[in-house]
Chains A and B, each alone.
Chain A
Amino acid sequence: MNQKITYAVIGLLFLALGFAAQPALAGEPKVLKIGAVDSLTGWMAAGEQPTNDGAKLAAAWINDKGGITIKGVKYKIELISEDAKSSPQGMAAAVTKLVEKEGVKFIIGGVNPVMNTAASSITEPAGVLRLSNYTCATPEESGPQFPLTFFMNSNMQGARPMLTWLKKTHPGVKKIALSHPGDGGGENRRKHLEPIANELGMTIVFSGEWPGETMDFTPFIKKALDKGPDAFVFTDAWAYHVGSQIKALRALGFKGPAISTDSEIVAEVLEVSGPKLTEGYAAASWDMKSPEMKPVFKKDFLKYAQKAGKSNAWLAWGWNTLWVLAQAIEQAQSLNPKVVAGYIRKDAKNIQTLFGPASISGEKTLGAKAALCAPQAIFVVKDGKPAFVKWVRAETP
């Protein structure tokens, strides 16, 4: 009998301790694991390492603000980075680890068709929502068959605003040359750009691809210039490709305007081709030093970047991608990827980015509403420096 009473007392004590601990536990935020698959090594690391760093900064910022709340429960974000190693095999291995070992339901990352396809081959069957950093708008990457895959930026989003700006500032431009990277997507880009160009009274007289490892762009540029374009349009490239081509353009005596239709950081291009040759070049993107950036960019993003001792412009990409996903989860009030995906498709306009409110589009280009776009700022090189022109609405058709 005494033994029974002793057990009962011990049981009650544990129960009481449990109840006593409950409020404290309720106050402790839970952890929401989000995977980040970026190439931290290999040839893509140069561009993706800063993106990954940016996502880490955003995670710290969100957590410092108290995390996100879903149905009354606070969650802190735990960002788990995996190296995609600049290869589809590396991407597949990284995503598999995140899904199977870490049990994540949300992933950010991916930048080109091969990597996006490799990631989606695992995330979609596993029911994991992935917000890629970029799409080249190729048919393999997206479409109705990928209901849980979204893209934060696309190479098409600047096409209309930049071609419109080109026509407005250089009304004499009638013939344009398109320069695409040699990823096999040149024709696809031309297909989407041509109607916009024609609508604005411009015709495409040259559309060519260059291999990523091109050292000297002179022959390629010369071939394009032989077609007599009035303006040169870079559809998708890293800054060093654009800068190299600008060098070749000017060396061959081309004096017409040159623009990018993807998000090119004008300051980075300037570093490559120098102030004199780059004068007049324009792109729709953002600038780390411009006073025209939005308050959240200047106050929060730059503060966190500075604290971490980082200044690369592509930090903004990673920050945006994670922040947008975190907002989507919180606004959908669900940890169910399908519910969050539905929310993004329906209410993306409620989601903020570093550059203003997001929008969703992509039916024509991607075959699905999968492209989340943020407003972009047109910058043009004036007196050797990036000069702000205006904010424009970026949209993937």
Chain B
Amino acid sequence: MATEILGHVINVLMLSSIYVLVALGFALVFSIMRIMNFAHGAIYMIGGFVCYNFWVPLGLGPWLSLLATMIVIGAFGLVLERVCFRPFRKDFEKAVIMAIALVIILKTGADLTVGAHSKSMPPIVSGGLQVGPYVIGADRLIVFLIAAALLGGMMLFIKKTRIGQAILAIAQDHDGAALMGINTDRVSALVCALGCALAGLAGGLVGSVLVLHVSIADAMLVKIIAVVIIAGIGSIGGIWAGGLAMGTLDTLGPYFLPNVVSDPLSLALVVLILVLRPQGLFGQET
């Protein structure tokens, strides 16, 4: 029983950390730029395929591939911010249309290039930990540890550095931060790059432990929106709780409930939170 629970815990932590990695970028971009980047799921998917190409055809191995993916997708985030988001920062409707257009462009691009092909990378570490009659995949544990380490680093960066403080200041009051001399354009670009890099990394990790396919973009977009709603829009810390909630629901729901109803149930929870606490569990009422 204890080993079974441990298995569930590892699975929850692994999935939750992936959700948090992607949702954090989405939430940061929204907090700083007030842009709902619906393309974030597609960026995560493309990150996975970029990582696959570094890892398998180019043979760079897991660590270099993950790093290279973060750099490439982060650079893509810089371009995205400059070309697609910055011009529409003060126009919410146009920004939404731009984000939707980006989703279509990125997904169609992926359809045309990778198309029907599913890819998967080997586990970062192979083997498993035998606990009683159960085997706990070491790859899942390592994915969680990588994600947790990066997320911890990211939180420290935001809380302890001047740039991090600038990010928080802009999230609280964009114009006020600008008046205080913070270069909001530069910070926005950095946030977009960081958010995309984290999404790219998540794509790479998922490709190793699960599978890569064009359709994972939409599945992830639904999850990150749910995570951000549970957390409360604008609440960076709440993302952890939101991710953990969704990860738990998505891991335990299919196990204890009929599989096809677990997804609608977790989304029903999101609707319930929206109704009872529109600002989310950790968001501030405006």
A: which residues have CB within 8 A of B? 41, 43, 45-47, 49-50, 182, 208-216, 218-220, 222-223, 238-240, 243-244, 247, 251-253, 268, 271-274, 312, 314
Contacts and interface: CB of A to CB of B under 8 A. Distances in A.
A272 B118 contact: yes
30 contacts: A43-B218, A46-B115, A46-B214, A47-B116, A49-B111, A49-B115, A49-B116, A209-B260, A210-B259, A210-B260, A214-B254, A215-B15, A215-B219, A215-B220, A216-B11, A220-B255, A223-B254, A223-B255, A240-B211, A243-B118, A244-B211, A251-B128, A251-B137, A251-B139, A251-B140, A252-B7, A271-B120, A273-B120, A274-B122, A314-B116
B216 interface: yes
Interface stretch (B84-92, B190-198, B245-253): B245-253
Contacts of A208: 258-259
A216 B263 contact: no
Contacts of B215: 43, 46, 212-213
B34 interface: no
B259 A209 contact: yes
B116 A215 contact: no
A253 B135 contact: yes
B20 interface: no
Contacts of A272: 118-120, 211
A274 B251 CA distance: 24
A219 B8 CA distance: 8
B149 interface: no
Contacts of B206: 215
Interface in B107-138: 108, 111, 115-120, 122, 128, 133-135, 137
Given A46-B115, A312-B116, A216 B251 contact: yes
Given A216-B11, A240-B118, 10 more contacts: A213-B218, A213-B219, A215-B250, A219-B252, A223-B254, A244-B211, A247-B210, A251-B137, A271-B117, A272-B211
A239 B118 contact: yes
B116 A271 contact: no
Contacts of B40: none
Contacts of A41: 108, 111
B115 A182 contact: no
A211 B259 CA distance: 7
Interface in B180-223: 206, 210-216, 218-220, 222-223
B134 A46 contact: no
Select the residue from B115, B116, B133 with max chain A CB neighbours within 10 A: B116
B260 A182 contact: yes
A244 B210 contact: yes
Contacts of B139: 251
A288 to B, nearest CB: 13
B15 A222 contact: no
Contacts of A253: 128, 133-135
Nearest to A48: B116
Given A45-B115, A253-B135, A274-B120, A216 B210 contact: yes
A138 to B, nearest CB: 15
Nearest to B18: A215
A63 B230 CA distance: 59
B135 A252 contact: yes
B7 A222 contact: yes
A202 B222 CA distance: 40
Interface residues of B, number: 43
Contacts of A273: 120
A119 to B, nearest CB: 21
B253 A46 contact: no
A85 B251 CA distance: 32
Contacts of A210: 254, 259-260
Interface string B148-177: 000000000000000000000000000000
A219 B206 CA distance: 16
* Top-6 shortest CB links A-B: A240-B118, A213-B219, A219-B255, A46-B116, A219-B254, A253-B135
Contacts of A218: 11, 251
A216 B250 CA distance: 8
Contacts of A274: 120, 122
Contacts of B133: 253
B123 to A, nearest CB: 9
B11 A219 contact: yes
Given A251-B128, A251-B135, A216 B260 contact: no
A251 B7 CA distance: 11
A202 B91 CA distance: 63
A223 B262 CA distance: 13
B15 A182 contact: no
Contacts of A222: 7, 255
A228 to B, nearest CB: 12
Nearest to A253: B135
Interface string B14-25: 110000000000
B6 to A, nearest CB: 13
Contacts of B214: 43, 46
A190 to B, nearest CB: 14
Nearest to B111: A45
Contacts of B210: 215-216, 244, 247
B135 A46 contact: no
Contact of B120 (A46, A223, A243, A314): A243
A285 B15 CA distance: 34
A214 B218 CA distance: 11
A49 to B, nearest CB: 6
Given A219-B254, A219-B255, A223-B255, A211 B115 contact: no
B198 to A, nearest CB: 17
A219 B251 contact: yes
A215 B247 CA distance: 11
A239 B254 CA distance: 21
Contacts of A251: 128, 135, 137, 139-140
